[in-house]
Structure 1
């Protein structure tokens, strides 16, 4: 539960599939996929060698000597023991617990998942558990949330969309112009979408399943996604505060003050001990655990590190909120603003720019 949500949610179904040692029926489709994926015949692949094979273009994080020792010991010694009775009963218990967490992730995201990788893997796990289950039936229609038909064929998006996040920026851009009267109908629709996209309740038993607070937040896409994000919440709050300054006859009724308070409460819950902000959750562990990173293609995936982007968004949102609602959680907001400002100043490089974790460009920080 201390790992970054993307890391733990992707490796969770992978662990289940590995632990089950499941092999599906070999169909013509499977045969065709094998032929497309591998450069040699599937039956000729040396799987022991394949365990350590990674294309040089993807090898960004070569395994260390310590990792090689750990992975080899797990494969050669621990794995055979876990397959023997009565130790295999421990694995059975672990697999059942994994499925509880997988079902929770599916249900709390309306079977969208936090990303297409864990969505697809979770769906396979549900199929293995029970090919006639309601869970699998609920998974299937939500495949289309990720599919995108481009000019050169069908593709899968890296997320189910970024509607809430991008719309918040669009609203802020419109409100900074002298065209608000002309854009009234568009702003009204955007206003309603942002209000309807707020997550209104915490997920049940969230602490048991290591989920952060969600009440009052916004996701990257829609409320169905269920995964609250600090900067998406901050940008949506900024958009709503700007719209509240415009006549309701033009952009619709403002959001209720109670829901604004929920948004601020959620933002403050995202604050790390040093006043910084990460993405989906607080920073839960030390960077020393990156030694356990099993990926050879991605760096820094174990910890949800603080970022200047998220910290900047929250900082701006809280300052704007404080101007309109000066009495609500005044001391906590003041302390947060002070610490967040110091973090951003300390992270500025000599040329005046900032290194951005999410790689959206330096302008995002000062939008």
Structure 2
């Protein structure tokens, strides 16, 4: 059966239902946002910080937090690092401590079950990675000598030095300057008798040598162990005067971030650490009250799952893809309600563009003219978020005309705004031609060898990724025709270099490895759209090879599904059943490689139509994204807008474009 003959009616019905569902999820301000479901570790850290700051939650919040811990506990009695994971010593240890701080006794079913499970692990609570030990040291439960050294003196190194913190990835750099202050000051909270009780409960058995626990995915290598041994020696002989200067440098860096991000921090983890630094520096610090108040931004609550703290907010990111999904099928499939929603969304995205930087010191990267992942109050623009916002706004401009913007403007994105967006995107292009996120790569990947976290990978430098590069090339290709000649030449050169990077990143079997989504399927979507945007025809050898890989990995049910474990093991692992996001990414990549007439693409589309619920939704209870290679996330709205986008683009590809209302 030819895909052009019988499928479009089914696809049209499914697409219209998906659009109706998507429209129902739009907020009054024009944005979309779904919860980024992760794990309980940030909630645990939030509870710890409130206790250290002597600002206990109100009773309603306390009950909501306990509810969330209860609802997310695994059958074994612990807590996992993501919704699909087995129990984690790190997450379980922090949850146990947080529950005790919330007033639960050691005999409560939640705490007793957690302690029992920890006791089954080799070494018990001692098997937690270094980040767990750091929090125990902050609480005064273990001495700082058991924590990997975070010397603040690194902040005093010359900026050209290879180990200067400025060379780190932005998230890591901000954490380092806060953690190193707490480590260097040997800050310890006063829990009173509870500290001794926790010490007895968690370390009831004598210490014995044990293998690294299951959270230690990347054990410390010989070079890192040698460096840490030297740093421990430094802790015994360092100059007190130099230590005071280093601590003050860390404190100033935290204060600068408070000014640079006056509404909320870079992430919830960073914001929590910075509160501790301000408190450790001065319990009556003039910025502390505002810093604590900002933590409310990261709070997520509902009656079913209680109170939790999200790792990130995704308003800009979700809104850009929702806009693209509503535009995907073309004007003949766009309702008046959708057009109105697009106008509101464009207004939101325009307002979310970063136009000021209130920090005390010049930023390390281009800021003005970009978009953050979260919202317009963030001062941390991200390369692919900026690219997707540009793509969405220019797509709306092409589809809706200048009316997509407020009266008296030049449409959703005036030409003068394109220059700022171009600068932000190009500032994230690395020497290899690929694009990063917050920063340009400032040192070699060799720095990953010195990664002290034991739990994360790819967290030391802002390396290029296929995902970010595909987004950047798509936006650059769309905006280039609107740029003046000089900037157009800059965009063209960046596109050529980016396409070269994508070709070099392709694996021999045709696949690409992802960085921010799961995993090879997500990368296929971005690689295909990026190469097509760069001018590659469908029969380009790289695209043909990617098309063969898509066909070879298609499941018997017609869809695609990828196991999250492949991110950790750095290989493709298929699931036994399809998932809506991964099927959507594969269909979108297939449209750019195999073409709309391909049986594989048609089968994927049929799976999406069949898997759709009566209300126009798809199942959204599975992990679909990743950060730092090991931390899995579930973006709740991925299952809403990516299938809509795939169905819309397929529908547009297989049906002729006719004026709406024509016979």
TM-score, with length taken from structure 1: 0.87
Sort the Cα spacing of 1:154 and 1:236 in 2 relative to 1 into closer, same or farther, 3 A. same
Equivalent position of 1:198 in the other structure: 353
Matches within 5 A, 1:283-322: 283-322=441-480
Sort the Cα spacing of 1:327 and 1:180 in 2 relative to 1 into closer, same or farther, 3 A. farther
- Contact 2:369 2:417 survives alignment (8 Å): yes
Equivalent position of 2:311 in the other structure: 158
Alignment equivalent of 2:219, drawn from 50, 55, 62: 62
Q: Deviations over 1:174-194 (max 9, x none)?
A: 112221533122111111110
Equivalent position of 2:608 in the other structure: none
Alignment equivalent of 1:228, drawn from 378, 381, 388: 381
Deviation at 1:295, TM superposition (A): 1.2
Deviation at 1:96, TM superposition (A): 0.5
- Contact 1:206 1:212 survives alignment (8 Å): no
Consecutive unaligned residues of structure 1, counting only runs of 5 or more, are: none
Sort the Cα spacing of 1:357 and 1:323 in 2 relative to 1 into closer, same or farther, 3 A. same
Deviation at 1:53, TM superposition (A): 7.7
The separation in 1 between residues aligned to 2:292 and 2:284, in whole angstroms, is 12
Alignment equivalent of 1:189, drawn from 313, 334, 344: 344
The separation in 2 between residues aligned to 1:345 and 1:11, in whole angstroms, is 34
Root mean square deviation of aligned Cα: 2.5
Q: SS of the counterpart of 1:224?
A: coil
Deviation at 1:45, TM superposition (A): 8.4
Equivalent position of 2:369 in the other structure: 216
Structure number with bigger Rg: 2
- Contact 1:175 1:242 survives alignment (8 Å): yes
- Contact 1:203 1:214 survives alignment (8 Å): no
With 311-320 and 138-147 compared, the bigger mean Cα shift is at 138-147
The separation in 1 between residues aligned to 2:436 and 2:188, in whole angstroms, is 39
Sort the Cα spacing of 1:185 and 1:67 in 2 relative to 1 into closer, same or farther, 3 A. same
Deviation at 1:27, TM superposition (A): 4.8
Q: SS of the counterpart of 1:154?
A: strand
Q: How many residues align?
A: 351
Sort the Cα spacing of 1:55 and 1:149 in 2 relative to 1 into closer, same or farther, 3 A. farther
Equivalent position of 1:18 in the other structure: 183
Sort the Cα spacing of 1:79 and 1:137 in 2 relative to 1 into closer, same or farther, 3 A. same
Q: SS of the counterpart of 2:336?
A: coil
The separation in 1 between residues aligned to 2:211 and 2:385, in whole angstroms, is 35
Counterpart check, 1:41 vs 2:201:
yes
Deviation at 1:71, TM superposition (A): 1.7
Equivalent position of 2:266 in the other structure: 114
- Contact 1:289 1:302 survives alignment (8 Å): yes
The separation in 2 between residues aligned to 1:232 and 1:242, in whole angstroms, is 15
Equivalent position of 1:102 in the other structure: 254
Counterpart check, 1:74 vs 2:226:
no
Equivalent position of 1:243 in the other structure: 396
Sort the Cα spacing of 1:105 and 1:318 in 2 relative to 1 into closer, same or farther, 3 A. same
- Contact 1:54 1:296 survives alignment (8 Å): no
Q: Deviations over 1:77-111 (max 9, x none)?
A: 211212xxxx1010001000110001111221225
Counterpart check, 1:261 vs 2:261:
no
The separation in 1 between residues aligned to 2:327 and 2:228, in whole angstroms, is 54
Equivalent position of 2:300 in the other structure: 148
The separation in 1 between residues aligned to 2:185 and 2:210, in whole angstroms, is 23
TM-score, with length taken from structure 2: 0.50
Consecutive unaligned residues of structure 2, counting only runs of 5 or more, are: 1-165, 530-587, 589-663
- Contact 2:384 2:471 survives alignment (8 Å): yes
The separation in 2 between residues aligned to 1:188 and 1:240, in whole angstroms, is 10
